[in-house]
Structure 1
Amino acid sequence: MLSVAIHEFKKQIKSIKSILVILIIFSITIGVASVGEKYKSLIEMGAESNVYTLGLTMTILIAGPLFTLSLSHNIINEEIRTRTIRFIATKTSRANIVIGKYLGIVLFWIICLVLSMFLISLFSHSIYINKFMVSFSFLLYFIGLTILISTLVSNPIMTNLIGITLSIVMTILGLWGTLSNNIILKVFSYLTPYHYFIHEENSALSYIPILFSILFVILSIILIRKRDL
């Protein structure tokens, strides 16, 4: 499982798309943090931390799902399509393959978040542990969802299209649901990480998306055990 995770992490970090995503996240993070530093004398103390982390927060909320789903949409089905999963399955269990690939993506995003928070701390001279944890919880939801979609759908092209479509739809409806009084949209927002990221940031409920992520991984393991490789 550990070797699968390390291999997946290396594959993620070397990808051109991943490098571009990292550059985008870092550019927005540094840009907004530098603006906050420039005008910090005009900012109230209570809002200062929000200004410094605003760039990262908005990037994660709006682009995080798209980045996560598009970068790793073929993480399982590409291995099945090329039959390389048969070789891996001779070395370890199917459950370990799924969990290892999940952990590889998780490690990639942990490093992205840690470096982003480090850049923010250079401007703010503060460490935002809670913001890091809530952001991590938010991304874990989509990492788990990516694994599930790639296990369910065998065609990598389809998972890419589904991932892009889902990321856009879930972002729009998730954000809309957190602000709307419509009961259907409200229920939908509770099934996405947006409600917990926006309204429950300072409570234990902000970590509920982690439970969704674990559920997605468990479903993926059940599905791949029943599948012919």
Structure 2
Amino acid sequence: MLSVTLHELKKQMKSIKSIIVVFIIFAVTVGVAAGVKRYAAFIDMQPGNDVYTTGLMLTILFAGPLFTLSLSHNIINEEMKTRTIRFIATKTSRTNIIIGKYLSIVIFWFICLLVSLLLIMIFAHQFYFVRGFSLFSFVTYFIGLTILLSTLIKNPLVTNLLGIFLSIMFTVVGIWSAVSHNILLKIISFITPYHYLFYENTSLFAVGPILISIIFVIISILVMRKRDL
């Protein structure tokens, strides 16, 4: 499992996407913060360091699902398409393959968010530990979903298109259900990470998306065990 994690993590860190992710998170966060500062009087908000947490949260809320689902959509099915997973399966178990690849994406995003927070700290003059952990928890939900989709669907092109569609759908439905008073939407909100984000209890938010992400991974493991490679 560790070898799978390290191999996949090295491959992700060597690619240009890690730099792009950090740059976009940092640039959009600072840009949103600058806009909030400029129009603070119009939106009834006092300018201050909180504008950076607002910018960071909005960046991850809208871009996080898209980045996660589109960048790693083929992490499992690409191996199956090229048949390289057969070779990997001779070295380790299918469970270790799923968990190893899942952990590699988790660590990748942890590094990206950490670097982004350190860069933002230069402007904000403080490190947003609690907000950073909350947003990391939010991203883990979509990491688990990415693993599940890539396990269930064999065609990487389909998972790419589906990932883009789901990232938009989850954002719209997730935010709508979290703020709506409709009973059906409220029930739906419990299976989205947005409910836990807008929930007042921060500890519940931190646990909720991570638990759902683990459930996605468990389902992926069960599917992979029964699949012919």
Give TM-score scaled by structure 1 length.
Answer: 0.91
Deviations 1:150-183 (A, max 9, x none): 0000010111111111111110000111111112
Partner in structure 2 of residue 174 of structure 1: 174
Partner in structure 2 of residue 91 of structure 1: 91
d(CA) in 1 for partners of 2:200, 2:228: 42
Residues 50/168 of structure 1: CA separation in 2 closer, same or farther (3 Å cut): same
Deviations 1:127-166 (A, max 9, x none): 2211011101100000000000000000101111111111
Give unpaired runs (5+ residues) of structure 2: none
Give unpaired runs (5+ residues) of structure 1: none
Confirm or deny: 8 A CA contact 1:134 1:206 kept in the other structure. Answer: yes
Deviations 1:21-62 (A, max 9, x none): 33211211233456678899x974xx7443112221111101
**Greater Cα offset, 190-199 or 14-23:** 14-23
Number of equivalences: 226
| Counterpart amino acid of residue 50 in structure 1 | D
Partner in structure 2 of residue 157 of structure 1: 157
What's the offset of the Cα at 1:202?
Answer: 2.8
State the Cα RMSD in Å. Answer: 2.2
Q: Aligned ranges for residues 86-165 of structure 1 at < 5 Å?
A: 86-165=86-165
d(CA) in 2 for partners of 1:176, 1:18: 30
Q: Aligned ranges for residues 211-222 of structure 1 at < 5 Å?
A: 211-222=211-222
State the identity as a percent. 61
User: Secondary structure of the residue that 1:191 maps to in structure 2?
Assistant: coil
Partner in structure 1 of residue 11 of structure 2: 11
| Counterpart amino acid of residue 50 in structure 2 | N
Partner in structure 1 of residue 225 of structure 2: 225
Give TM-score scaled by structure 2 length.
Answer: 0.91
Deviations 1:51-100 (A, max 9, x none): 11222111110111010000000100000110101111111111111111
Partner in structure 1 of residue 62 of structure 2: 62
User: Secondary structure of the residue that 1:67 maps to in structure 2?
Assistant: helix
